[in-house]
């Protein structure tokens, strides 16, 4: 557990010191939100819902696609000896999840600030961002680990990741449509349950499979 | 040596059963005609107290051979009998009804079903085919008038065919050529996951090449399922791609597996290739499960069993169809195993030649 915390700290410092990486992600968020706003000006609620999640998906991909870039092979071997693959994955996953939560909130704030927000039920919408962070972080951390094992990792990560993310994304769209008031589904509890179950299954699968990907 | 001969014998039986079952599916699925049914009715509306002549076109019937009786029925107690039945050909007839003065219910109109009975085809019906309107209400008299006829027990049809369903009609046979692809695909993907797990526990390159072979056949079956489904959709729903949730989700599931093949080709080191793609295969299967088994159940679908449509089974998959459907599933699966085995061996030879 302490190892994991240390590794999270290390990731955090590495990201913080590498100013250009974090600022490029922030700029990406701002640019995409602004482009979608200028393209639409008046965004209807349904389009807002779709646009938000698409922007958020692309922001997440761009933020996480580099997850394992820094762990080039000698460093990776060193960490592998030191902490073991499960701790490495846990640390990456925790760091990425927190990063995605922050980016999700940022996207929401920027979207509401520039294009207005049709959201009525904020707790539910924040819950969907919370679940989205876990789901996207699971999938893209795992897939970017696979991508790191191949040469041309970034393109491959996107190709492998997007289809895998669809089940999570569809549930999210439904849940957030509920919080905006497009859908009056009183039974969104099942959606939350299904989303959490899908997240839990994918997360446990990634934890089981990561050691096989990581060792050389 | 012994295990080799055993697997060879199994192979032989897989091939024999695959050929027998698939030929049986094609012959049995096409051989049997459809049950008689009512295609079109004109007019579809009438009023109480009128005498109407209903022109009916039917399917697979023998109206001009033998005496016919027709009924308009509301439920098992209330119905009326035709007063005249003129068959103009074996599939066309003009039926005359005297509609009583009142309906047995208070509602302003009622949808009555049409039943035609004859000794060759037995009895066949089309529910809510004529809508009858009434101006004044007299429930008691109406009940009296509609109660006078009791529908006799239908004679048995001379031939038992596949069920007749409006809109589906002859395309109902596609159930033998469309659905088994999906079942076989799921079975093939499950086998490939089994080999992936086996490989990760004990790395033997044969197992990883099995994963590759089973996935290729599984993806092929998935594509075939999508194509046969699209052709069926064109003929029943009106468009090749109807945006049905199951169509969309399976397309995405196949994308995940297509990604597996891209992944497979990108590696330079064979050891890493086999291990990482096996791991991704397990992940892909887990990600596919909600796409195919969970999400389609949450949305409306045009498929049977979703969004208020009748499910597979019950009336849509009766015993005559089961006799073809289940062998078809087994036959397609065996064909998949056979294909996967061939692909696996081809791959092995190619690798051998490279070295």
Q: Which domains does chain B have, with CATH numbers?
A: 2-33+168-354 (no CATH), 37-146 (2.60.40.10)
CB A129 within 8 A of CB A174: no
Residue appearing with tokens 């520039």: A114
CB A144 within 8 A of CB A66: yes
Number of cross-chain residue pairs from A and B with Cβ atoms under 8 Å apart: 76
Query: Helix, strand or coil for residue B148?
Result: coil
Mutate to test the interface with A, among B196, B288, B298 (most CBs of A within 10 A): B298
Are A167 and B291 inside 8 Å of each other by CB?
yes
The shortest C-alpha distance from A211 to chain B (Å) reads 10
| Rg of chain B, C-alpha, whole Å | 28
The shortest C-alpha distance from B197 to chain A (Å) reads 10
Query: Helix, strand or coil for residue B103?
Result: coil
Residue in A with minimal Cα distance to B203: A212
Torsion, CA B14, CA B16, CA B22, CA B23, rounded to 10: 180
pLDDT (tens, 9 = 90+) of chain B, 355 residues, equals 344 544 555 678 889 999 999 999 999 888 888 888 888 888 888 888 888 888 888 888 888 887 888 888 888 788 888 888 888 888 888 888 888 888 888 888 888 888 888 888 888 888 888 888 888 888 888 888 888 877 777 777 877 888 887 777 888 888 889 989 999 999 999 999 999 999 999 988 889 999 999 999 999 999 999 999 999 999 888 889 888 888 888 899 999 999 999 999 888 888 888 999 999 999 999 988 888 888 887 777 777 765 555 555 455 667 788 888 899 999 999 999 999 999 999 998 998 898 7
The shortest C-alpha distance from A110 to chain B (Å) reads 31
Residue appearing with tokens 């001009």: B64
Query: Helix, strand or coil for residue B138?
Result: coil
Q: Write the pLDDT tens digit of every residue in A9-57.
A: 887 887 777 777 788 888 999 999 899 888 888 888 888 999 999 999 9
Structure tokens at B157: 């049809």
Query: Helix, strand or coil for residue B122?
Result: strand
**Residue A26's CB: how many other CB atoms inside 10 A?**
15
Strands of the sheet containing B45-47, edge to edge, are B45-47, B122-133, B109-118, B69-73, B79-81
Cis bond before residue B43 (omega within 30° of 0): yes
CB A67 within 8 A of CB A141: yes
Give the Cα separation of B35 and B87 in Å (integer).
Answer: 19
Residue appearing with tokens 């090449």: B209
Q: Which of A57, A24, A58 is nearest to A172 (CA)?
A: A57
**Residue A21's CB: how many other CB atoms inside 10 A?**
16
CA A91 from chain centre, in angstroms, equals: 15
CB-facing half-sphere around the CA of A36: CA atoms within 13 A: 25
User: Could you give the ipTM of this predicted complex?
Assistant: 0.88
What is the number of domains present in chain A?
1
> What is the domain range of residue A137?
2-214
Q: Which of B287, B285, B259, B282 is nearest to B199 (CA)?
A: B282
Are A160 and B259 inside 8 Å of each other by CB?
yes
CA B117 from chain centre, in angstroms, equals: 27
Give the Cα separation of A212 and B6 in Å (integer).
Answer: 33
Structural element, H or E, at residue B319? helix B319-354
Are B286 and A149 inside 8 Å of each other by CB?
no
Q: Which of B218, B156, B243 is nearest to B343 (CA)?
A: B218
Give the Cα separation of B290 and B207 in Å (integer).
Answer: 26
């Amino acid at each position: 557990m302490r190892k994991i915390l240390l590794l999270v700290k290390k990731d955090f410092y590495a990201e913080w010191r590498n100013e250009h990486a974090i600022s490029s992600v922030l700029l990406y968020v701002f640019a995409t939100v602004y482009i979608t706003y200028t393209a639409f000006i008046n965004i209807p609620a349904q389009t807002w819902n779709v646009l938000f999640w698409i922007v958020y998906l692309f922001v997440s991909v761009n933020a996480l696609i580099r997850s394992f870039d820094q762990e080039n092979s000698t460093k990776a071997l060193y960490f592998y000896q030191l902490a073991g693959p499960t701790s490495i994955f846990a640390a990456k996953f925790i760091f990425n999840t927190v990063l995605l939560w922050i980016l999700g909130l940022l996207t929401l704030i920027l979207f509401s600030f520039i294009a207005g927000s049709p959201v009525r039920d904020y707790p539910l919408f924040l819950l969907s961002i919370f679940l989205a962070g876990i789901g996207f972080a699971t999938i893209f951390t795992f897939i970017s680990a696979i991508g790191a094992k191949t040469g041309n990792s970034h393109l491959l990560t996107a190709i492998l990741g997007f289809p895998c993310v669809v089940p999570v994304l569809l549930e999210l769209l439904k849940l957030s449509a509920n919080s905006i008031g497009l859908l009056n589904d009183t039974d969104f509890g099942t959606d939350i349950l299904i989303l959490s179950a899908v997240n839990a299954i994918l997360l446990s699968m990634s934890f089981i499979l990561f050691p096989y990907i990581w060792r050389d | 040596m012994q295990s080799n001969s055993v697997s060879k014998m199994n192979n032989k039986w897989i091939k024999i059963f695959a050929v027998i079952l698939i030929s049986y599916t094609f012959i049995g699925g096409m051989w049997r005609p459809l049950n008689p049914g009512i295609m079109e009715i004109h007019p579809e509306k009438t009023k109480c107290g009128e005498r109407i002549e209903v022109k009916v076109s039917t399917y697979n019937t023998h109206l001009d051979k033998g005496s016919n009786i027709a009924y308009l029925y509301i439920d098992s107690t209330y119905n009326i009998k035709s007063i005249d039945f003129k068959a103009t050909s074996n599939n066309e007839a003009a039926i005359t009804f005297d509609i009583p003065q009142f309906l047995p219910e208070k509602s302003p109109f009622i949808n009555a079903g049409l039943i035609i009975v004859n000794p060759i085809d037995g009895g066949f019906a089309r529910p809510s085919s004529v809508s009858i309107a009434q101006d004044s209400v007299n429930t008691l008299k109406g009940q009296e008038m509609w109660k006078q006829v009791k529908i006799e027990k239908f004679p048995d049809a001379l031939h038992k065919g596949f069920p007749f369903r409006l809109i589906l009609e002859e395309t109902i046979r596609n159930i033998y050529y469309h659905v088994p692809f999906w079942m076989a695909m799921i079975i093939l993907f499950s086998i490939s996951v089994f080999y992936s797990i086996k490989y990760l526990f004990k790395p033997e390159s044969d197992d990883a090449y099995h994963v590759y072979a089973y996935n290729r056949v599984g993806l092929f079956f998935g594509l075939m399922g999508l194509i046969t489904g699209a052709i069926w959709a064109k003929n029943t729903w009106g468009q090749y791609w109807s945006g049905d949730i199951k169509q969309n989700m399976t397309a995405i599931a196949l994308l995940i597996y297509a990604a597996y093949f891209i992944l497979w080709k990108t590696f330079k080191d064979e050891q890493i290739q086999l291990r990482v793609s096996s791991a991704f295969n397990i992940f892909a299967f887990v990600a596919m499960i909600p796409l195919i088994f969970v999400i389609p159940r949450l949305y409306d679908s045009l498929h049977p069993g979703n969004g208020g449509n009748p499910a597979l089974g019950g009336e849509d998959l009766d015993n005559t169809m089961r006799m073809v459907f289940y062998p078809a599933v087994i036959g397609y699966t065996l064909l998949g195993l056979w294909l996967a085995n061939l692909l696996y061996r081809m791959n092995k030879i190619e690798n051998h030649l490279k070295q």
